[in-house]
Each structure stands twice: as structure tokens, then as C-alpha cells.
Amino acid sequence: MFTGLITDVGEVIDKSDGKFTLRTAYKLRTEDTGLSICCDGVCLTATAIKPLSSGSEFSVDVSNETLAKSTLSNWVPGSRVNLERSLKVGDELGGHIVSGHVDGVAKIVSITQDGPSRRILFEAPEHLSRYIAPKGSVALDGTSLTVNEVAETHFGVNLIPHSLTVTTWGAKNPGDLVNLEVDVFARYVARLMEFRI
């Protein structure tokens, strides 16, 4: 489980047949192998860890299912990736509950400067748009964000300068695809409504 608060931006340094290796500032130890790390919103297991003087490198295996439902198939060496380590008991829940189970991919339609912040408009897959509500939460590339407005399959969010600086969001452009995880509570409420008598 995660909060959607990005704590490092890692870099893909190797890619081969569903296996990726990333470099991070996290001080991981070899005995941390098996831990979960949220990578651009996708919960992945560190299958191998190499400690470095300035951080560490970790490898992950990615299934065909994950590649099909996320943007990870577009990762190449040099790709920058939002990272978050899993929650520990007692950690502050500063964003919202994020599972790391990506629901699909959203597309950036437009980016507009709004003072020091940026307003970003997305298009979501139609089957996921029903779970997105104004002032609700979404995780986009692993980042917990509040929805400003919704119109059919389109929705907008606002990113403050801090978020643009400490994540990959400052480099995003219209047309880019991002991983989308809808709010888990919205998903369960919608499911319960299907059985309403």
C-alpha cells in the first residue's frame, strides 16, 4: 500500500524481456530483496538489489498483463520514473490510499500555466471515467492528485510547483500517456451500487 507521495525520481538503466533495472537514491540493502516499490504508479517487487555509495540499483520483473495495462512498455534506458516505497505501520497518510494496481492509461490533452501552477487536462478510458469525480482522488504515474473538474471522459488536475519539481510531471507534454489508478473507494461504491435493490 502507498500514499501517492513521490519520494524519489529514479532512472531506468537497463531493459530486457520484461525485466527492468532502475537506479534510485534509496539506500536499499541486498536483504531488502522482495520489497514493494511503486514505480510510476505500478507496484513492483524488487527481485535483486545492488547497493551503491550514492543510493542503489534494483531490478523488477514485469508481467505481460502489467505491460498491457500500463505505460511500462514505453520505458527505455534513461526514462525517469516516479518512485515511492511502501507504507509502514505508523507512517503518515498524506496523500490517499494507493494500491499500485493500475487500472489503465490516461492521455494528456492539454497543459495550461495557471500562475506558478499547471492545470493538466486528461482523457480517461470510458470504462474508468465513471470512477472519477470532482474533488475526488486519482493516482497518475503514482502521484496522488485531486480532481478539479470532470466532463464525460475528460478530467483536470492542478500541479503546484513543488510537485512539478520533485516528480516527473515538470517534463510532461500534451499527448503523453500516464498510468491511472482510480480511487479504491469509488470503485467499491460503484460495485455496491450494481447490487442495489
Is 99 within a domain?
no
Is 118 within a domain?
yes
Q: How confident is the model at residue 197 (pLDDT cuts 50, 70, 90)?
A: low
Among candidate residues 86, 70, 97, the one with its CA nearest the CA of residue 182: 97
Q: Lowest-pLDDT range, 26-35, 74-83, 96-105, 186-195?
A: 186-195
Please give the pLDDT value at position 196. Answer: 65
Burial tier of 169 (Cβ tally within 10 Å: 0-12, 13-18, 19+): buried
Higher-pLDDT residue of 105, 185: 105
Residues 41 and 114 in one domain: no
**Number of domains the chain contains:** 2
Distance CA 139, CA 96 (A): 9
Is 80 within a domain?
yes
Please give the pLDDT value at position 187. Answer: 72
Residues 109 and 189 in one domain: yes
For the segment 8-17, the average pLDDT, to the nearest whole number, is 96
Residue 168, domain CATH: 2.40.30.20
Q: Lowest-pLDDT range, 25-29, 55-59, 91-95, 178-182?
A: 91-95
Task: Quote the domain boundaries for residue 138.
Answer: 104-193
- CB 154 within 8 Å of CB 112: no
Cell of 26: 534509496
Alpha-carbon distance values, 6 to 40, 68, 94, 123, 153 (Å): 9, 24, 11, 23, 26
Is 1 within a domain?
no
Q: How confident is the model at residue 195 (pLDDT cuts 50, 70, 90)?
A: confident
Is 96 within a domain?
no
Three-class SS of residue 84?
strand
Residues 66 and 147 in one domain: no
Distance CA 197, CA 194 (A): 9
Is 163 within a domain?
yes
Is 91 within a domain?
no
Last residue of a domain, which of 50, 85, 120? Answer: 85
Distance CA 14, CA 62 (A): 13
Residues 114 and 160 in one domain: yes
144-151 contacts: CB < 8 A, separation 24 or more? 144/3, 144/4, 144/5, 144/95, 144/96, 144/98, 145/4, 148/119
Residues 115 and 62 in one domain: no
pLDDT above 70: residue 41: yes
Residues 70 and 124 in one domain: no
Residues 59 and 133 in one domain: no
Is 23 within a domain?
yes
Please give the pLDDT value at position 71. Answer: 98
Residues 120 and 188 in one domain: yes
Residues 62 and 120 in one domain: no
Residues 109 and 183 in one domain: yes
Q: Classify 161 in phi/psi space as left (phi over 0), alpha (psi -120 to 50) or beta.
A: alpha
Residues 113 and 38 in one domain: no
pLDDT in tens, 83-113: 999 977 777 777 788 999 999 999 999 999 9
- Work out the mean pLDDT of the chain and round it to a whole number: 93
